[in-house]
Amino acid sequence: MSDGSTVAKIPLGQGYGLGYDGGNQWVAPVSEGRVVGGETGSADINWETPVEGVGVRPAVTEDQVFVSTVTTSPEGFSLEDPTSMDAEGQLYALDITDGSVLWETSRNGAGAGAPLVQNGLVYWTGTDGDILVYDVETGESTWEFKNDASLPRSPVAASGNIFAGGQDGYLYAIDARSGELVGRSLVGAPISTNPVAVDGVVYVGTDEGSIQAFEYGGGERLWAFEADASVRSLTVSNGLVIAGTAAGYYVLGDGESVESDGDGDTTTRTETDDDESWSGGGEPVAGGDEAAMRQRGLFSNDGDEPDALSNPFNLTTLGFLLSVAGITYQMFQGR
């Protein structure tokens, strides 16, 4: 366990997001368009790899490092509001021992969230709304989840699903292997934190200061708590939800009351099986309906079908009109 003492202080420049220290290696993307690495406990930089743009927190396997960068300047980079960056994203797979580039790819939107590595696949979200998935070894695309709403935060994996928070106010659950949309839960405001999945519950925080818990797989909202300011970070440990907001930290427990160390006030977490008790703005933000119509298709949810076939209004209207016509005709005939 760390005793808090400084082992090494390495002059690297400005960093965005955390570096990584695990095994015998440390890795850090820094602002000047490079990723550096070295041995744990040593201030020596063993390798340095130039990358395009500003890198965020890497994902690391035993022998690889995955770094997402946003092709903008350090001044133009904004972790707080990734959607404001009009920039492309790059994803680099580096050899952890020497920093050599194994493969790289790009996307239209900024990948401001850390990539997620799980079961031989790397999942990469971005402000263009897509989840791009690659084989960690070859860099070949495995599947893509197309979405209209921006997904600027890192996804999380649990129970065979990938959870990603959208700017359209929905928490998406996607099958990790197939990329099929399993379900989505209405959060009601742009999600501002990485989702956290623990013991069948996914937690998210929003720009409007709401902290919410959902069942896995697009399930019901279990509870919601209204904080005083935009939620910036979320951690779950030992049955406690710890949220950092622009106004202070909140620790949400299992009981009815919670503590805020911002001003010492005691506030209450609200069970929200009854949505009427939820005050977080229960409506999706603009574009939610449109997104739903495009994502949910007639035969699959991959979004590649013509809109006319993917619009339930057309299909149900046809069914009901036939039914009304049949009833009316038979009634006239008296059969």
Partner 1 sequence: MARGLPAAWSAVLGLPFVAGGLYAVVRSPNVPSEAGLPFIGFGGFVILLGLYIQFVAAPEPPTMRDGEEIVETRNPAQRAAAVKAAVGFVVLSVAGYLLFFTFLPYVYPLVTLVGGLYLFSTGLYAYWTNTLTTYYVTNQRLIKEYRFISLVREELPFEKVRGVEERRSVWETIAGLGNVRVASGGGRTLEVVVRNVYSPTEFADEVRGLV
* 11, 255, 306, 334: residue in contact with partner 1 (rule CB under 8 A): 334
Strand ranges for 40-169 from DSSP E: 47-50, 54-55, 59-60, 64-70, 89-95, 101-107, 116-118, 121-125, 131-135, 141-145, 156-158, 161-165
* Residue 147 contacts partner 1 per CB under 8 A: no
Residue indicated by tokens 């972790």 = 79
138/316 with CB nearer partner 1: 316
* Residue 25 contacts partner 1 per CB under 8 A: no
* Residue 316 contacts partner 1 per CB under 8 A: yes
1/308 with CB nearer partner 1: 308
* 5, 238, 308, 332: residue in contact with partner 1 (rule CB under 8 A): 332
Give the residues across from 103 on adjacent strands.
93
Site string for partner 1, 154-173 (x = CB under 8 A): ----------------x---
CB of 326 to partner 1, least distance (A): 6
Q: Retrieve residue 116's tokens.
A: 């997620």
88/148 with CB nearer partner 1: 148
CB of 250 to partner 1, least distance (A): 26
Distance CA 334, CA 8 (A): 91
Q: Retrieve residue 181's tokens.
A: 């949309």
- The interface region with partner 1, picked from 19-27, 45-53, 263-271, 291-299 by CB under 8 A, is 291-299
Residue indicated by tokens 């395009």 = 52
- The interface region with partner 1, picked from 75-83, 101-109, 264-272, 306-314 by CB under 8 A, is 306-314
138/314 with CB nearer partner 1: 314
Q: Residue 270 CB: number of other CB atoms within 10 A?
A: 15
Which helix H or strand E contains 294, and what residues bound it? helix 288-295
170/203 with CB nearer partner 1: 170
User: How far is the CA of 326 from the CAs of 72, 134, 303, 315, 316, in angstroms?
Assistant: 62, 52, 33, 17, 15
CB of 322 to partner 1, least distance (A): 8
The residue among 71, 67, 114 whose CA lies nearest residue 91 is 67
* Residue 312 contacts partner 1 per CB under 8 A: yes
* Residue 311 contacts partner 1 per CB under 8 A: yes
* 6, 44, 238, 313: residue in contact with partner 1 (rule CB under 8 A): 313
Strand-pair category, 64-70 with 181-186: unpaired
Q: Retrieve residue 43's tokens.
A: 């201030």
- The interface region with partner 1, picked from 20-28, 127-135, 249-257, 293-301 by CB under 8 A, is 293-301
133/171 with CB nearer partner 1: 171
Number of chain positions touching partner 1 (CB under 8 A): 42
Q: 205, 214 in Cβ contact below 8 A?
A: no
Site for partner 1 in 221-280 (CB under 8 A): 275
Site for partner 1 in 171-230 (CB under 8 A): 181-186, 218
76/219 with CB nearer partner 1: 219
Exposed e or buried b per residue across 191-204, where buried means at least 16 C-beta atoms within 10 angstroms of its C-beta = bbbbbbbeeebbbb
Q: Residue 290 CB: number of other CB atoms within 10 A?
A: 13
Q: Retrieve residue 123's tokens.
A: 């999942």
1/331 with CB nearer partner 1: 331
Strand-pair category, 270-271 with 221-226: antiparallel
* Residue 304 contacts partner 1 per CB under 8 A: no
| Contacting residues toward partner 1, per CB under 8 A | 170, 181-186, 218, 275, 282-284, 288-290, 292-293, 296-301, 310-313, 315-317, 319-320, 322-324, 326-327, 330-332, 334-335
